[in-house]
């Protein structure tokens, strides 16, 4: 099982920043770091750090079962409910959450001072996330293998839909 980082130290792990100025609905601005993975069993552990001023990651849903631990700052989610409403979830440093596979689509951000979370994901079929555009359409997925390949090749993950088959 490859391990990228042996300990959590925000000053020593390798961070990769993602921004997307084309998103005008909210500010996509976050960093991520791969900690370790096991392609054979479908596991990936990563850190996500939201920028100050409520930096967001892309609109998505977790296809993999996910354990979340807020290490620093805050994490805010707005889940899109099946009936069209929304549910807001706010977590502070030390909060832990466990979600099964096939979570609701959501937006996710840090607080005004940002936030850092640990995500530990289990995906026996290899699929971690499904991303959505601003209209909640044209979804595309990201697998553990694609995430690891993007990390190794130093390219952003989850940035573009796959071509239609």
Nearest-angstrom CA–CA distance, 75 and 69: 10
Dist CA 35 CA 14 (whole Å): 9
Q: Is the pLDDT of residue 26 over 60?
A: yes
Tell which wins on pLDDT, 160 or 159: 159
**59, burial (CB in 10 Å: exposed 0-12, middle 13-18, buried 19+):** buried
**Backbone CA torsion sign across 64, 71, 160, 55:** positive
CA gap 116, 38 in Å, rounded: 23
What's the confidence (pLDDT) of residue 156? Answer: 73
* pLDDT, averaged across the chain: 85
Query: What is the per-residue pLDDT for 58?
Result: 79
pLDDT at 158: 60
Cβ proximity of 94 and 107 under 8 Å? no
CB 20 within 8 A of CB 58: yes
How many Cβ atoms are within 10 Å of 11's Cβ, its own excluded?
Answer: 5
50-60 per-position pLDDT tens digit: 888 888 777 78
Selected residue with higher pLDDT from 1 and 90: 90
Tell me what pLDDT residue 21 has: 74
pLDDT in tens, 4-21: 666 667 777 889 887 777
Query: How would you class 20 by CB atoms within 10 Å of its CB: exposed for 0-12, middle for 13-18, buried for 19 or more?
Result: middle
Q: What is the rounded CA–CA span in Å between residue 62 and residue 141? A: 10
Q: Residue 66's pLDDT band (boundaries 50, 70, 90)? A: very high
- pLDDT at position 3, please? 66
* CATH numeric code, 16-152: 2.60.120.10
Residue 72 has pLDDT above 70, yes or no: yes
User: Average pLDDT of 134-163?
Assistant: 77
Q: Which of 73-87, 129-143, 149-163 has the lowest mean pLDDT?
A: 149-163
Q: What is the mean pLDDT of residues 73-81?
A: 92
Mean pLDDT of 119-147: 86
SS3 state at 85 = coil
Report the pLDDT value the prediction gives residue 67, as an integer from 0 to 100. 96
Ordered by start, the domain boundaries in the chain are 16-152
Q: How far is CA 68 from CA 62, 98, 119, in A?
A: 11, 6, 5
């Amino acid at each position: 099982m490859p391990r990228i980082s042996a300990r959590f130290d925000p000053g020593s792990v390798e961070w990769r920043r993602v921004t997307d100025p084309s998103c005008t609905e909210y500010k996509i601005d976050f960093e991520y770091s791969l900690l370790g993975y096991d392609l054979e069993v479908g596991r990936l552990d990563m850190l996500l750090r939201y920028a100050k001023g409520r930096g967001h990651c892309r609109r998505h849903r977790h296809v993999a079962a996910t354990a979340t631990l807020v290490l620093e700052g805050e994490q805010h989610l707005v889940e899109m409910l099946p009936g069209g409403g929304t549910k807001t979830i706010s977590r502070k440093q030390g909060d832990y959450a466990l979600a099964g596979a096939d979570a609701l689509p959501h937006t996710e951000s840090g607080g005004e001072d940002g936030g850092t979370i640990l995500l530990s994901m289990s995906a026996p079929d290899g699929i971690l996330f499904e991303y959505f555009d601003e209209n909640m359409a044209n979804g595309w997925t990201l697998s553990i293998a694609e995430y690891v390949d993007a990390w190794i090749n130093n390219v952003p993950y989850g940035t573009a839909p796959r071509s239609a088959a």
